[in-house]
Amino acid sequence: MTNQPKIAVLLVAAGTGERFGGSMPKQYLPLLGRPLLRWCIDAFRRHSAISAVYTVIHADHQTEYAAAAEGLDLPAPIIGGGTRQESVRRGLEKIAALSKPDFILIHDAARPGISDMLISDICASLQRHDAVIPGLAVADTVRRKTGNAVRTESRDGLYAVQTPQAFRFDTILALHQKYADRSVTDDAALCEFSGPAIHIIHGDRDNFKVTQGGDLGAMEQALSARCGDIRTGSGYDVHKLVPPAGDRKLMICGIDVPHDMVLDGHSDADVGLHAITDALLATICDGDIGMHFSPKDNRWKNADSAKFLRHAADLVAEQQGIITHIDVTIICEAPKIGPQREKMRARIADILAMPTSRISVKATTTEGLGFTGRREGIAAESVVTVRLPFGSRGNVTQDDIRNWGT
């Protein structure tokens, strides 16, 4: 469609999360396998109405941002300011200098529960309104406390307002510049000074802002509840043991394991990570590791297998899936896996942005029997659990479920 308007997104992620606390800013904390900010980036990037996603970050968070945006081809992050308002203005000014869209959706990175449906509703509303915001009608009785006096207020017409908030780009940029000295907590507030009428559409309960410590657990619940399609995948891999040549190391589950032999293979031959990668691909029925990373391709010569694992996890994330459990068994007489187990768990957790408590690493010998018993090679076997939303791309739909057994 040639007449489709250009709708871009500005994610504001330059805050320091004082109320949330902790050493890592909340927008970079891991949430079901992905940093909070990455949930937002992914939600907007996969939406067909969105032409570009820009992010405003704090100057001190470049490393955290790079980890959260890993593997994505995104515009360079924009450095924010001391307040949310200033961060938004800087973001808008930078976008204006790069490539002006017709409309802009401004979204808090602290709201990773943003759904495809809400993005669609907002974009659809922009056909008829120049300022669109999601809001939830206040359902609780509202009271105001002034000193010791408590009075009931009418909740009629009261809304708790969320983001993304959508505007004509030129209008909201001009408002942010004109009223830079008037302190506001969201962007629609500027339209109240002088600007287009604000249109409220129905928001989403799960699109709440992660503000205090307890909110992260609630967000985990909300996001996992969307994923009722529970998949189990298995993977198996074998590599041959050979004497070390050059600086090749014995890599198992992402760890360099001290031993007098190494594994032979095109990549780093990490048998553990390969088995997990195949198990993940199995959950989304997307072939196997060789199909994605051909052993004939020179790009993968001596490659770090963490890259393969991360790719499989990204494919799961693309389908809005969540990895909830990883189990891997290493089958060999030597080296001993036990002393390396915790390091391996921590490394897999790091690659997948998952808590270590959801990662199991086991080992067994084969009592001297077979090729593993003869120390000719090492085998690994993995079983993983992934939750997907029903009806995501390539998966069964609700209709399929209804028709099951008929």
Which positions lie near ligand CTP, rule CB under 6 A? Answer: 12-20, 27, 56, 80-84, 87, 108-110, 209, 211
Partner touching 112 among Mg ion, ligand CTP, none, CB below 5 to 8 Å by kind? none
When the beta carbons of 84 and 274 are compared against ligand CTP, the nearer one is 84
Residue 144 pairs in a beta bridge with: 151
When the beta carbons of 18 and 73 are compared against ligand CTP, the nearer one is 18
Partner touching 14 among ligand CTP, Mg ion, none, CB below 5 to 8 Å by kind? ligand CTP
User: 112: closest CA among 187, 211, 199?
Assistant: 211
CB 320 within 8 A of CB 388: yes
Shortest spacing between CB 4 and ligand CTP, in angstroms: 28
Shortest spacing between CB 84 and Mg ion, in angstroms: 6
User: 329: closest CA among 235, 219, 266?
Assistant: 235
When the beta carbons of 15 and 80 are compared against Mg ion, the nearer one is 15
Shortest spacing between CB 22 and ligand CTP, in angstroms: 11
When the beta carbons of 109 and 118 are compared against ligand CTP, the nearer one is 109
Range 240-259, binding Mg ion (CB under 5 A): none
3-state secondary structure of 216: helix
Partner touching 19 among ligand CTP, Mg ion, none, CB below 5 to 8 Å by kind? ligand CTP
Shortest spacing between CB 10 and ligand CTP, in angstroms: 10
Please give, one letter per residue, the 3-state secondary structure of 283-347: HCCCCCHHHHCCCCCHHHCCCCCHHHHHHHHHHHHHCCCEEEEEEEEEECCCCCCHHHHHHHHHH
Which residues fall within 8 angstroms of residue 130, CB to CB, at 6 or more apart?
Answer: 167, 168, 171, 196, 197
Partner touching 233 among Mg ion, ligand CTP, none, CB below 5 to 8 Å by kind? none
When the beta carbons of 64 and 268 are compared against ligand CTP, the nearer one is 64
Shortest spacing between CB 284 and ligand CTP, in angstroms: 30
DSSP H or E stretch at residue 360: strand 359-364
- Alpha carbon 141 to its chain centroid, in Å, reads 36
Binding-residue pattern over the window 282 to 321 for Mg ion, x denoting contact by CB under 5 A: ----------------------------------------
Partner touching 378 among Mg ion, ligand CTP, none, CB below 5 to 8 Å by kind? none
Partner touching 87 among ligand CTP, Mg ion, none, CB below 5 to 8 Å by kind? ligand CTP
How many residues make contact with Mg ion (CB under 5 A)?
Answer: 1
- Residue in this structure with the two tokens 């410590």, named with its chain if needed: 213
Binding-residue pattern over the window 4 to 33 for Mg ion, x denoting contact by CB under 5 A: -----------x------------------
User: 53: closest CA among 37, 29, 64, 32?
Assistant: 37
**Nearest-CB residue to Mg ion?**
15
- Residue in this structure with the two tokens 């899936």, named with its chain if needed: 321
CB 57 within 8 A of CB 77: yes
Partner touching 324 among ligand CTP, Mg ion, none, CB below 5 to 8 Å by kind? none
> What are the strands, taking DSSP E only, across 243-274?
251-252, 255-256, 262-263
Token pair for residue 8? 């871009």
When the beta carbons of 91 and 101 are compared against ligand CTP, the nearer one is 91
Partner touching 108 among ligand CTP, Mg ion, none, CB below 5 to 8 Å by kind? ligand CTP
How many Å apart are CA 108 and CA 44, to the nearest integer?
12
CB 150 within 8 A of CB 144: yes
When the beta carbons of 18 and 247 are compared against Mg ion, the nearer one is 18
- Interacting residue ranges for Mg ion, rule: CB under 5 A: 15
